[in-house]
Amino acid sequence: MSNKIKASIIGASGYTGSELARILANHPNVEIGHITSESHADKKFSDLHPQFAGFVDVQLESAASLDVEDQDVLFLALPHGVSMDFVKKWADMKVKIVDLSGDFRLTSPEVYTHWYKKDHIYAEGFKHAVYGMPELHTAEIEKARLVANPGCYPTASILSLAPLFAKKVVEEGSIIIDAKSGTTGAGIKVSPVTHFSNVNENFRAYGIGGHRHTIEIEEQLGKLLKKQVMVQFTPHLLPVDRGILATSYASVSGEMNQEKLENLYKAFFNEKPFVRVRGSAPSLKDVRGSNFCDIYPYWDKRTGRAIILSAIDNLVKGAAGQAVHCMNLMFDLKETEGLTHIPMQP
């Protein structure tokens, strides 16, 4: 009998679901149990995603009628607002849950409702949900039953600024995060936003001043600083499939120089296997397909401002990879197990 972790993917028609399968199918300690899709329950997973032919050919099931008793962990790759129903339904079972939606990332149902314009049906969940960013919350994740996997923009943004906030050397009103994401962040569902000729050879900002990920960034940075934080966050849509590059600007308090800044970052991310503090600006392809976050902290002595560049693959470190990283911690595995993908470049 297998000692492998039985893991199921709830919601596999989208990019996050298929990326989970890409990682889990090759994870040495995992056996994929169920994969669900409400709209394609009559098909095999590889009918939907032909790249998996010969690897993951399991029959898709409906989540509604799924028996999860024998599973060890569930990855919920569902839209926000839908995920909470299933979290609630499975809350009292022994199965652990990593929820990749935005439903349990914030601190309260009230904040959720304000930013997501939606009522929350499971306030209880906020009490024990752990924000699944291993670089900040290792111990809590190890003990968690419900992990709220971070958003893609927040992952790139928070990691790029966490050292400054944790060390309290930042003027918190000064933060501007100008972030750029590939289109897979907008999902697999067709819409004018992701119509080829609207994205290709094009570039634009969106959600200016009001994107939901703003509050997620503010809450996490606020926890580090132990006071409320407000940031300026502007997302943009890049004509690429994968990747987020965040350019963060911060005024710092006290003396600073390039060496000091770099050391501060290196010390903070010491022993964090998926953050690479670098001496030059990262590009998206330096991390594509991998669970890395590459960070370059730059001190502009002319203007007296820190500029921090961070790059992730939004589907890996910004979603499925980080979720599997959390699973590794929850099941006492080596942090990097099953996550040793070398970035695909070119």
- Segment lying near a copy of itself (by CB under 8 A), choices 3-11, 134-142, 149-157, 187-195: 187-195
Concatenating the DSSP letter of every residue in 111-152 gives: HHHHHH-S--S-TTHHHHEEE--HHHHHHHHHH-SEEEPPPH
Least distance to a copy of itself from the beta carbon of 186, Å? Answer: 8
Cβ-contact 84, 125 below 8 angstroms: yes
Residues 288-327: x where in contact with a copy of itself by CB under 8 A, - otherwise, as a string: xxx---x---x-x-xx-x-x-x------------------
* 305-312 vs 293-300, strand pairing mode: antiparallel
Torsion of CA 162, 168, 171, 174, to 10 degrees: 10
- CA angle 200/236/247 to nearest 5° reads 125
56-75 residues near a copy of itself, rule: CB under 8 A: 56
- Member of 128, 143, 168, 204 binding a copy of itself (CB under 8 A): 204
137 binds a copy of itself (CB under 8 A): no
- Member of 195, 227, 228, 267 binding a copy of itself (CB under 8 A): 195
- CA angle 217/73/160 to nearest 5° reads 20
201 binds a copy of itself (CB under 8 A): yes
Cβ-contact 231, 218 below 8 angstroms: yes
CB nearer to a copy of itself: pick between 97 and 245: 245
Least distance to a copy of itself from the beta carbon of 177, Å? Answer: 10
d(C-alpha 213, C-alpha 319), whole Å: 14
- Member of 7, 106, 224, 287 binding a copy of itself (CB under 8 A): 287
- Member of 63, 133, 238, 295 binding a copy of itself (CB under 8 A): 238
Question: Which residues belong to the active site?
Answer: 152
22 binds a copy of itself (CB under 8 A): yes
Which residue, among 161, 315, 182, 175, has the nearest Cα to 233 in the 3D structure? 175
Element (H, E) at 161: helix 152-166
- Segment lying near a copy of itself (by CB under 8 A), choices 65-73, 84-92, 322-330, 336-344: 336-344
d(C-alpha 310, C-alpha 334), whole Å: 25
161-180 residues near a copy of itself, rule: CB under 8 A: 176, 178, 180
- Member of 65, 67, 117, 209 binding a copy of itself (CB under 8 A): 209
